[in-house]
Chain A
Amino acid sequence: PSQVVPGADPSARQLCFAWGPAEVLVCETLFGHRGGSPSRGEGGPGRALLPGTLTACVAGTGEGGPSSSRLFVVRKDQDIYIQTLRKLFNESHGIFIGLQRSEEELAGKSRKAQLVQVSKNYRSVIRACMEDMHQAAILTRDPALHSQYSTQVSILSAMELIWNLCEILFVEAAAAGPLLLRLLDWVRLHVCDVDNMVHEVLSSENPSKHELFWNVVDVFVLQGRMDEARHLLSKEASANPTSVNMYKILDDLMKKMPVPSLGNTQTLTEMELKWQHWHEECQRYLQDGTFASNSHMESICKILLGDEDAILEKKDLMTTWYHFLVTRLLYSHPTVKPMELRFYAQACMDLFLGGESSPEPLDTILMAAFEFEMHQVIKECSIALSNWWFVAHLTDLLDHCKLLQSHNLYFGSNMREFLLLEYASGLFSHHSLWQLGVDYFDHCPEYGRVYLELHIERIPLNTEQKALKVLRICEQRQMHEQVRSICKIMAMKALRNNRLGSALSWSIRAKDAAFATLISDRFLKDYCESGCFSDLDLIDNLGPSMLLSDRLTFLGKYREFHRLYGEKRFSEAAKLLLMLMTAHIAPCSFWMTLLTDALPLLEQKEVIFSAEQTYELMRCLEDLTAGKSDKQKFQDDDVETMKVEMLRLALARNLARVIVKEGTLEGS
């Protein structure tokens, strides 16, 4: 897809670009214009160029310089934001996944049938979308929207036309014989400008008297719809008894016309022979002048004989060169082989356009298809269409048909992967369709994972549920870096919003010990400042997650100590307190607090700490004070020194009491 940025003129200013995941920044620099003609988006009649949307344009002030610079923000991949196309993206995603997962072991005919079914599914999705778009176009009152929808309908219609042809020629690879029948169906389905006229004539009271009667008969003949043509002709015959003979002969010829069969009822050579006889018969009748008196019937006979000029006369009824091609083939080479199509196609296009008009992009694409130049088809479609949907899915299907040689592009991946990557990247800029993109990346063996890793971190996570979905995707693909990163972002957000429980929950998910330590420190800080614990429901219920980080374990155990103290289970509390220090679960900075917590236990009437324990406590205190340098001791204020003094006193007193208690024999 190519884009035109309105207002950005490379001939006036040198432009610089920066690419982001969803947008491109185009900036005018202060450098003057370069020589030479600018090359903008290629023009050409009928090219469907959808301009990138200018979402913002900022003018900077240039100090004393020439005119100010402007910054353009250009959004790529417009189409993903069209509401009615969302069905296309979602449904085709389902078909894509189904195709990737489908049985590769099925060989030969059944595999081909399966692939043809997939192709038909894609096409029916395109048609469904066309229907919706058409409905939307009818219902809308906004003229701009109406024209946008109508354009989309015609683009979708063209896409289906191309896809259908590719299905016939490449996926189904129809052989000579059935090929023509498929092409006839294709033309009948897609060239329907004449449907209105047909309807008008058929529903009129006296069809044979209608001015467009013969046009309709011609249309039927041109499209090989013999039965319908004969049916109409019978009306003319009954209305016009003088031409009954002529009619009978023509009717007979039309009835006898040999057509290729789909089944195996006749071989190609048989059919050719029959056709040759029939052709000669028609020739005889024409030369005998049987239809001389009725110019309409004569021209029909000429058409049956495949007379180029006669068919070309009905140009307006056929409207397109490919209709002309199929009609010509029907009446001159019904057993045409696929590889021969290219010669006829080129000739027909030249004849039809007759040098008046040049081929449009659609014509070039169809021609490339007739020439079996698959790569050319894909290339032309990529340029003409505004998003990668079509080429990505078609190429993937052709790749599954094993039709694309591994055509390595110079930067490593093959064409199928390149297109899928481009398409999926486009999806990622959408706030919701990115989920589809994930599966596409999964099926790009070489670069898919890398692309996914880069894109998935940039999805905005505005709710926890979205974050959980992203995380699940990362975990399923063992993208540990991304899991850690996303959990950290969510945990930080939670922390900033004072949701400590949420923050802890995210750190547990990521098994992030460092963050758990951070959260615990936060709790402990709150405790030191306020004297009580916040969020007790969390701390009291840590469970096994307590072991995630030492600090967290300490927090849990410290809270348990407080609980035991509150329940007056002093000896257990004392044991726990000591363990916290001796097992080095408590951070050194907290030891003073712990020792201070021990004070009330030491001052109890009943002796709680045993001699052993008291010695331990004393050792801890000495370790603590010894650790301080002289300078620190000098800086310690009175409160600190008093605390230490009080502790020493309490410990000594306790020691005294406990020695006596332990030394006393019980009950003597």
Chain B
Amino acid sequence: QDNRISIWSVGDLGNVGLSGEYQGEPQLLCDIRHNGDVMDMQFLDQERIVVASSTGTVTVFRHHQNNQTLSANQRWEKAHYHVDQDTSCGGAACTGVICNNPEIVTVGEDGRINLFRADQKDVVRTIDNADSSTLHAVTFLRTTEILTVNSIGQLKIWDLRQQRNEPSQIFSLTGDRVPLHCVDRHPNQQHIVATGGQDGMLSIWDIRQGTMPVSLLNAHEAEMWEVHFHPSNPDHLFTCSEDGSLWHWDTSTDVSEKPSFLHQGGRSTTYFSHNTTNQSVVSVWLSNDPTKDRMEITNLIPNQTLSVNTLDILGPCLVYGTDAEAIYVNRQLFA
């Protein structure tokens, strides 16, 4: 197997053509071999990238921008393992990584949570057997608290200040304990959390109250691999799935100003009926039935074939990768 971490340049704004479509292909700047499948990765800072591997190793790569090369800066071998760390076949896949410079938190198929510090050789803290099933994803709730999701449909909050190895709170799905694969927190309102499940369902949680999700939205037809709130425009949510679709959930209020027949739909757009006379301060995500307010859901992929495994958004740019070994860049997301 020849897996590589690659850095690409998608050119500058000058390349945008008349129709607003992006012209020109992404250019490969540099790449480096990676041992095992890349399960997750995140930028630690402008130059460093943390990568989680299926072998259980967590690596920090540095991108040298002056000569456009990548090098492995730091590596924690066997960060995730089954039973015995020293046996050769004992490695367990590291499934998720989240960074808050200089802290790095990883979770894996061994149900373990690791807290690393960049530039510190040894692991800062390990919570063994944090979960009896696989932890699929992790994200920061606050600087000292993290959220994890697992294969038995549970969302757990862990307080890293406390020394005990128990979660401070456990939330569960109602009904079938479908595995949860991804989690993301609202950028501004920290009590709002979104998770995606194996059945393609999007769940919105209010972690201030209750142990069950506030709303469940039937979305994809297969596993939802990633969910992301737009970092600067959190009325927009993006989800991607094994069924090959990538959905843009738009709850921005200005949509409801115009009457419905004046709206131009996306390729497959669903409109829900509305009648909100007063826009309350409470986030539209938390209203009892988000479909009551106007929510526009668009599938951004015209000819879907294979799974969309991952996506990321920043400003007007959306990038996603598929199982057809293709990366797509959309630089005019809100045009």
- Among A439, A499, A504, the residue within 8 A (CB) of B305 is A439
Among A63-71, A93-101, A274-282, A642-650, the one that faces the other chain is A93-101
- Among A98, A463, A501, the residue within 8 A (CB) of B54 is A463
B203 to chain A, nearest CB (A): 14
A364 CB-CB contact with B under 8 Å: no
- Among A432, A502, A535, the residue within 8 A (CB) of B109 is A502
A541 touches B305 (CB 8 A): no
Q: How far is the CA of A468 from the CA of B129 in the complex (A)?
A: 23
| Given the contacts A94-B324, A464-B134, A537 and B170 also touching, CB distance less than 8 Å | yes
Which of A94, A468, A502 has the largest count of B CB atoms less than 10 A from its CB? A502
B89 to chain A, nearest CB (A): 10
Contact with B along A54-91 (1 / 0, CB 8 A): 00000000000000000000000000000100110010
B237 CB-CB contact with A under 8 Å: no
B108 to chain A, nearest CB (A): 10
A532 to chain B, nearest CB (A): 14
Contact with A along B91-115 (1 / 0, CB 8 A): 0110100000000000001110000
Q: How far is the CA of A500 from the CA of B133 in the complex (A)?
A: 7
Q: How far is the CA of A495 from the CA of B154 in the complex (A)?
A: 20
Q: How far is the CA of A435 from the CA of B154 in the complex (A)?
A: 30
B335 CB-CB contact with A under 8 Å: no
B172 CB-CB contact with A under 8 Å: yes
A571 CB-CB contact with B under 8 Å: no
Q: Which residue of B lies closest to A539 (CB)?
A: B132
Within 8 A of B (CB), among A474-515: 476, 497-502, 504-505, 508
A231 CB-CB contact with B under 8 Å: no
B170 to chain A, nearest CB (A): 6
CB neighbours (8 Å) of A476 from chain B are: 222
A667 CB-CB contact with B under 8 Å: no
A542 CB-CB contact with B under 8 Å: yes
CB neighbours (8 Å) of A468 from chain B are: 198, 223, 242
CB neighbours (8 Å) of B306 from chain A are: 435-436
CB neighbours (8 Å) of B198 from chain A are: 468
Q: Which residue of A lies closest to B166 (CB)?
A: A537
A542 touches B177 (CB 8 A): yes
B223 touches A502 (CB 8 A): no
B182 to chain A, nearest CB (A): 12
Q: How far is the CA of A432 from the CA of B37 in the complex (A)?
A: 11
B152 touches A501 (CB 8 A): yes
Q: Which residue of B lies closest to A500 (CB)?
A: B132
A544 touches B242 (CB 8 A): no
Q: How far is the CA of A383 from the CA of B153 in the complex (A)?
A: 53
B322 to chain A, nearest CB (A): 9
A538 CB-CB contact with B under 8 Å: yes
Q: Which residue of A lies closest to B167 (CB)?
A: A537
A462 touches B54 (CB 8 A): yes
Within 8 A of B (CB), among A429-474: 431-432, 435-436, 439, 462-466, 468-469, 472
B110 touches A497 (CB 8 A): yes
Q: How far is the CA of A498 from the CA of B110 in the complex (A)?
A: 9
CB neighbours (8 Å) of A627 from chain B are: none
A501 touches B93 (CB 8 A): no
Q: How far is the CA of A500 from the CA of B173 in the complex (A)?
A: 19
A543 CB-CB contact with B under 8 Å: yes
Contact with A along B209-231 (1 / 0, CB 8 A): 00000000000001100000000
| Given the contacts A534-B132, A535-B132, A543-B172, A501 and B110 also touching, CB distance less than 8 Å | no
Q: How far is the CA of A377 from the CA of B134 in the complex (A)?
A: 53
- Among A86, A497, A500, the residue within 8 A (CB) of B325 is A86
| Given the contacts A94-B305, A98-B303, A439-B305, A463 and B151 also touching, CB distance less than 8 Å | no
| Given the contacts A468-B223, A497-B83, A505 and B179 also touching, CB distance less than 8 Å | yes
- Among A90, A431, A544, the residue within 8 A (CB) of B176 is A544
Contact with A along B294-335 (1 / 0, CB 8 A): 000000000101110000000000000001111000000000
What are 25 A-B pairs with beta-carbon distances under 8 A?
A86-B325, A87-B325, A90-B326, A94-B303, A94-B324, A436-B306, A463-B39, A463-B93, A464-B93, A464-B95, A465-B37, A468-B242, A469-B323, A499-B132, A501-B134, A504-B133, A537-B132, A537-B156, A537-B167, A538-B152, A541-B152, A541-B154, A543-B174, A544-B176, A545-B177
Give 9 closest A-B pairs by Cβ, nearest first. Answer: A501-B133, A501-B132, A535-B132, A497-B82, A505-B151, A502-B133, A463-B93, A538-B132, A463-B54
List the interface of chain B (C-beta within 8 A of A).
1-2, 37, 39, 54, 82-83, 92-93, 95, 109-111, 129, 131-134, 150-154, 156, 167, 170, 172-177, 179, 198, 222-223, 242, 303, 305-307, 323-326
Given contacts A464-B109, A465-B95, A502-B151, list 14 more A-B pairs with CB under 8 A.
Answer: A94-B303, A439-B305, A463-B37, A463-B109, A476-B222, A497-B110, A501-B151, A501-B152, A504-B133, A508-B177, A535-B132, A537-B132, A544-B177, A545-B176
